[in-house]
């Protein structure tokens, strides 16, 4: 998720295990893909909300900031259950 722009998540990959354990690698890649997908969705929603807010207000709204705010209020607790 951090690679996709999420500054709120920090994970450290065990490179030795990633290169030697096929299940670990598959899990890592699946989780990373899901994180990127969620980040893209949050950015899209944030951009839409930001654009809608901008059209209703003379105050400029940064879509990236709105996306981060949306992500802060998104329940990601179920991500722990991904296999």
- Residue 9 covered by a domain: no
What gap in Å lies between CA 33 and CA 43, rounded to an integer? 15
- Residue 1 covered by a domain: no
Closest by Cα among 20, 9, 15 to 68: 9
User: Is 68 exposed, middle or buried (CB count within 10 Å of its CB: 0-12, 13-18, 19+)?
Assistant: middle
User: pLDDT-based confidence at 70, cuts 50/70/90?
Assistant: confident
- Residue 65 covered by a domain: yes
DSSP 81: G
pLDDT computed for residue 5 by the predictor: 63
Does the pLDDT at position 75 exceed 80? Answer: no
- Residue 4 covered by a domain: no
The pLDDT tens digits of the residues spanning 18-62 come to 999 999 999 989 988 888 888 888 888 766 666 665 555 555 567
Structurally, the chain folds into a number of domains equal to 1
- Residue 3 covered by a domain: no
Residue 72 parent element (H or E)? helix 63-72
Domain that holds residue 23: 15-81
Question: In this predicted model, which residue has the larger pLDDT, 16 or 78?
Answer: 16
Contact 57, 76 (CB under 8 A): no
Residues 6 or more apart in contact with residue 76 via CB below 8 angstroms: 38
- Residue 48 covered by a domain: yes
pTM above 0.75?
no
pLDDT computed for residue 65 by the predictor: 75
């Amino acid at each position: 998720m951090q690679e996709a722009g999420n500054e709120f998540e920090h994970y450290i990959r065990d490179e030795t295990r990633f290169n030697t354990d096929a299940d670990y690698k598959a899990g890592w890649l699946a989780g990373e893909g899901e994180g990127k997908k969620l980040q893209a969705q949050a950015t899209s929603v944030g951009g839409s909300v930001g654009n809608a807010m901008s059209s209703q207000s003379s105050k400029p709204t940064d879509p990236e900031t709105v996306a981060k705010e949306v992500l802060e209020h998104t329940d990601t607790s179920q991500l722990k259950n991904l296999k």
